[in-house]
């Protein structure tokens, strides 16, 4: 019972894998990208643990993964990079429950003004009375000064997600929709030239005629060929605000009776407000016409006025949520020191909970965050780490925790904090299993499993397992080889020949940074999490504004194109896969359409697309699966009973190329497809690039929704390289090595160096020391995150940074740089 025993796992590329994993240990599973780590740990182990647990609760018919047997399984929890609440209302405070504790503190300790005598009093010293009014209970306080009864503000009154606490105007969002005049009206154009941006085609002609009729009715003479900016005031107000606008009516007031029927012209703004109300939100077709602005009632503080006024130690709740977590920890110390004996009894449980959570988050390097920071604004790594910190709140034991690359997005200095959290989870009596590539983590685990030896069909085997020292002795282990041989000798760094100049960069937490970014080389941007790297590159540099005194960027004109490859996922449609996204599907279909069988049957290339009605299975509409509706549980995807998951009609599947049907080809990995289509130059070009970029193991029909963050970013880079024209492009990359094994990082570095040799410039945001050590030039921001970051602290070649005392990354680069 001290081990989880996996017997004969054959799912995906796994080759009859059997493995014993010790319980109540910290275990890491590593291996090259595509070797089968996620398949073994998540698709087999986690899913089988879930299946056994649910069947123990009486739920039957759950599909078993491709494994003969797993013994001594236990209840499992899986935390991946997509974990956490991504609701726009969710903030760091609500996601961690720190805001819940704060609301309780403000209920117990809040200082408020009596609405009767206007003197301040503290909630903790008031006598209280609870009264039942119909079906509700109301709690009242008695002011210690005037002894009048006042309704008490409860913890729900301090929540922007409840009707009791939310600002009524913005419904607790802190912002309201307003019409974006710049996007709606291009005043330098005439109406027929598109001055009103959402008047299109025939609708534009209709609205111009309606407007002309209204002008005639009100006796306004206006040349409609003129730019809107040249309109007289009455004509302009009629266009924008409509015939019901009071100011417009004051311009055209006429005592004479009009003989014609009254004409109503709605106006641009009234029309947009009406559509917003009808749709109870922004209509998709008019999305560009609106923008969010700070709520004028609560000024973005989200709470109703009474709740916003309550203070604890002279600070209101909206003030606290705008502090960093580090600053909140100091404030809590002051709160604890100020408490009376009675207040300790009321609040100690909430203070202790907040202090414990803040310490855990600080270990993960996220103390720069604020409680009001929206969860959807966090990187996947930040969201995952917050979720990880919250797991320890449940002091359960006997669980299997599975974490997919918990060090994603972390600076090397914060890795020890992650390991400490993982060990805490283990010490509670749990088994902690991580899929990981980070050398700092691998060296500290209790048990290490290396899967390989390579990716795809050449992987799926247990290469080594045991302690870190034991795995290091294995000659067939790519991990062992990388740990011992990937120290980088100092090479001849390329010298900067010209620069991009950024002046007075002050977006978000940037502290008026002036920096020269060298081009015609590989330049790395590094720094601790939250130091301002993404802001500098994507919010300042990529926007290329050279007309202002702040955030000024000069030098982008020398590039043919600026190409941003950020962490945003590619198209997340189920029908999109590797072949369709890279445009590989088109030449594949043409190859099949040229075969003798296809020509004899009259099949064009459209017959070989699962998105076309001509050749796809219509029962599943080319998906290969159909939805099975479950009465009480989430709907499940089951294999289509007509095409048996093959997506195409039977006669289409009879057409083969080198013995493969179109369905069988799409089941191949990139590596396998290279050998099948070695005579097809266009197909080879795409496949070779995918292999070169570290995606040789993915299947051609793999859905984009199943890709990891790193895989998705490298796929986007591949598509850009296939589509992009120009001899000198600027590539902006955001942590492209996420999810890559050390050996794969080395291959990726070679690709980047080749692009530089071809004349391109590459700017890459990275934490990975291996890639940073291979750069020609590094720019480091810091020294910390949030308000304590946003400064230029070091720059130069990787070797030069080793001798700069201010550099935070320097000690971690030493392992990869050899003099």
User: What is the CB neighbour count within 10 angstroms for residue 294?
Assistant: 14
**Are the C-beta atoms of residues 514 and 798 closer than 8 Å to each other?**
no
What pLDDT, on a 0 to 100 scale, did the predictor assign at position 255? 39
Q: How many whole angstroms separate alpha carbon 77 and alpha carbon 531?
A: 32
Q: Could you list the beta-strand ranges (E) of 567-640.
A: 625-628, 636-639
> What is the sign, positive or negative, of the torsion defined by CA atoms of 91, 92, 97, 99?
negative
Residues 756 and 500 sit within 8 Å (Cβ to Cβ): no
The structure's pTM equals 0.79
**Selection from 126, 794, 788, 771 nearest residue 488 by Cα:** 771
* Torsions phi, psi for 552 (to 5 deg): -85, 135
Output phi, psi for 260, to 5 deg: -85, 160
Q: Which fold has domain 3-84+379-485?
A: Rossmann fold (3.40.50)
Residue matched to tokens 């962490």: 567
- Check residue 630 and give its pLDDT: 54
Provide the H-helix boundaries in 446-502. 468-472, 478-485
Same fold, 3-84+379-485 and 488-569+725-818: yes
Distance set, CA 258 to CA 94, 263, 621 (Å): 60, 11, 61
User: What pLDDT is stored for residue 366 in this prediction?
Assistant: 87
Q: Which two tokens stand for residue 382?
A: 């930040």
Identify the DSSP state of 613: T
Measured at the CA of 269, the angle between CA 263 and CA 270, to 5 degrees, comes to: 55
What pLDDT is stored for residue 84 in this prediction?
A: 53
Predicted confidence at residue 786, as pLDDT, reads: 83
Chain centroid to CA 512 = 27
What residue ranges of the chain have pLDDT lower than 70?
A: 61, 81-86, 254-262, 380-381, 392-394, 487-491, 569, 571-572, 628-636, 709, 819
Label residues 207-232 b or e (16+ Cβ within 10 Å = b): bbeebeebbebbebebebeeebeebe
- 3-state DSSP helix/strand/coil % of the chain, to nearest 5: 40, 20, 40
585-703: CATH topology: ABC transporter ATPase like fold (1.20.1580)
Tell me the angle at which helices 233-241 and 268-279 cross, rounded to the nearest 10 degrees: 10
Q: What is the largest CA-CA distance in the chain?
A: 101
Q: CA-to-CA distance for 391 and 410, rounded, in angstroms?
A: 18
Q: Domain extents for the chain?
A: 3-84+379-485, 93-106+321-373, 178-293, 488-569+725-818, 585-703
Q: Does domain 178-293 have CATH number 3.30.230.10?
A: no
CATH dotted code for 488-569+725-818: 3.40.50.300
- Token pair 């055209």 in the structure block, residue: 252
Closest by CA position to 770, among listed 731, 790, 798, 742: 742
Q: What is the pLDDT of residues 518-557, one digit of tens each?
A: 999 999 999 998 899 999 999 999 988 777 889 999 999 9
Q: What pLDDT, in 10s, does the model give residues 185-194?
A: 999 999 999 9
């Amino acid at each position: 019972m001290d081990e989880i025993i996996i017997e004969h796992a054959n799912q995906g590329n796994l080759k009859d894998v059997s493995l014993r994993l010790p319980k109540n240990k910290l275990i890491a599973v590593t291996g090259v990208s595509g070797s089968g780590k996620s398949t073994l740990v998540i698709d087999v182990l986690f899913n089988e643990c879930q299946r056994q647990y649910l069947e123990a609760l009486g739920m039957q018919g759950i599909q078993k993964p491709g494994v003969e047997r797993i013994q001594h399984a236990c209840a499992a929890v899986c935390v991946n990079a997509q974990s956490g609440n991504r609701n726009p209302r969710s903030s760091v405070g609500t996601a961690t429950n720190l805001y819940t504790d704060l609301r309780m503190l403000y209920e117990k300790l809040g200082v408020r003004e009596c609405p009767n005598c206007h003197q301040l009093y503290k909630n903790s010293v008031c006598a209280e009375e609870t009264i039942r009014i119909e079906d509700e209970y109301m709690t009242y306080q008695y002011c210690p000064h005037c002894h009048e009864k006042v309704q008490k503000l409860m913890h729900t009154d301090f929540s922007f997600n409840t009707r009791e606490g939310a600002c009524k105007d913005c419904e607790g969002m802190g912002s309201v929709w307003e019409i974006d005049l710049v996007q709606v009206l291009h005043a330098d154009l005439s109406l027929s030239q598109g001055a009103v941006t959402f008047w299109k085609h025939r609708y534009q002609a209709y609205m111009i005629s309606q407007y002309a009729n209204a002008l005639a009715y009100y006796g306004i003479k206006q040349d409609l060929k003129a730019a809107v900016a040249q309109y007289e005031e009455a004509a302009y107000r009629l266009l924008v605000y409509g015939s019901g606008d009071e100011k417009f009516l004051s311009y055209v007031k006429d005592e004479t009776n009009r003989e014609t029927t009254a004409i109503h012209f709605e106006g641009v703004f009234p029309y947009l407000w009406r559509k917003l109300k009808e749709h109870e939100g922004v209509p998709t077709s008019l999305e560009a016409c609106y923008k969010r602005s700070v709520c004028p009632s609560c000024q973005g503080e989200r709470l109703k006025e009474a709740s916003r006024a309550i203070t604890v130690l002279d600070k209101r709740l909206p003030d606290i949520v705008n502090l960093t977590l580090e600053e909140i920890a100091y404030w809590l110390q002051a709160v604890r020191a100020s408490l009376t004996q009675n207040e300790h009894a009321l609040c100690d449980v909430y203070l202790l909970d907040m202090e414990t959570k803040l310490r855990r988050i600080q270990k993960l390097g996220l103390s720069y965050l604020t409680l009001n920071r929206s969860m959807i604004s966090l990187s996947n790594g930040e969201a995952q780490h917050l979720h990880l910190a919250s797991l320890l709140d449940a002091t359960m034991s006997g669980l299997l925790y599975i974490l997919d690359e918990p060090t994603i997005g972390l600076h090397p200095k914060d890795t020890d904090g992650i390991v400490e959290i993982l060990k805490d989870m283990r010490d509670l009596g749990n088994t902690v299993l991580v899929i990981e590539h980070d050398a700092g983590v691998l060296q500290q685990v209790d048990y290490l499993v290396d899967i390989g030896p390579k990716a795809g069909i050449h992987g799926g085997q247990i290469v080594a397992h045991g302690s870190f020292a034991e795995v290091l002795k294995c000659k067939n282990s790519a991990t062992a080889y990388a740990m011992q041989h990937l120290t980088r000798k100092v090479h001849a760094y390329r010298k900067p020949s010209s620069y991009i100049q950024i002046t007075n960069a002050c977006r978000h937490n940037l502290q008026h940074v002036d920096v020269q970014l060298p081009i015609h080389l590989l330049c790395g941007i590094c720094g601790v999490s939250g130091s301002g790297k993404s802001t500098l590159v994507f919010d300042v540099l990529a926007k290329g504004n050279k007309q202002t005194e702040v955030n000024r960027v000069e030098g982008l004109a020398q590039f043919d194109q600026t190409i941003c490859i950020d962490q945003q996922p590619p198209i997340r449609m189920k029908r999109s896969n590797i072949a369709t996204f890279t445009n590989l599907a088109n030449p594949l279909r043409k190859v099949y359409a040229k075969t003798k069988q296809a020509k004899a049957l009259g099949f064009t290339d459209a017959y070989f697309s699962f998105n076309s009605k001509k050749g796809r299975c219509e029962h599943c509409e080319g998906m290969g699966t159909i939805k099975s509706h479950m009465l009480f549980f989430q709907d499940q995807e089951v294999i289509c009973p007509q095409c048996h998951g093959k997506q195409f009609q039977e006669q289409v599947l009879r057409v083969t190329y080198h013995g493969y049907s179109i369905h069988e080809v799409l089941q191949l990995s990139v590596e396998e497809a290279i050998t099948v289509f070695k005579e097809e130059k266009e197909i080879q070009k795409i496949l070779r690039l995918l292999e070169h970029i570290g995606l040789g193991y993915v299947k051609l029909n793999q859905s984009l929704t199943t890709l990891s963050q790193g895989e998705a970013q490298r796929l986007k880079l591949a598509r850009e390289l296939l589509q992009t024209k120009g001899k000198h492009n600027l590539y902006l990359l955001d942590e492209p090595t996420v999810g890559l094994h050390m050996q794969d990082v080395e291959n990726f570095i070679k690709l980047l160096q080749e692009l530089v040799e071809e004349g391109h410039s590459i700017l890459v945001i990275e934490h990975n020391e291996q890639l940073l050590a291979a750069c020609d030039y590094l720019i480091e921001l810091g020294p910390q995150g949030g308000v304590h970051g946003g400064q230029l602290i070091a720059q130069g070649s990787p070797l030069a940074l080793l001798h700069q005392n201010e550099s935070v990354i320097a000690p971690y680069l030493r392992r990869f740089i050899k003099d």
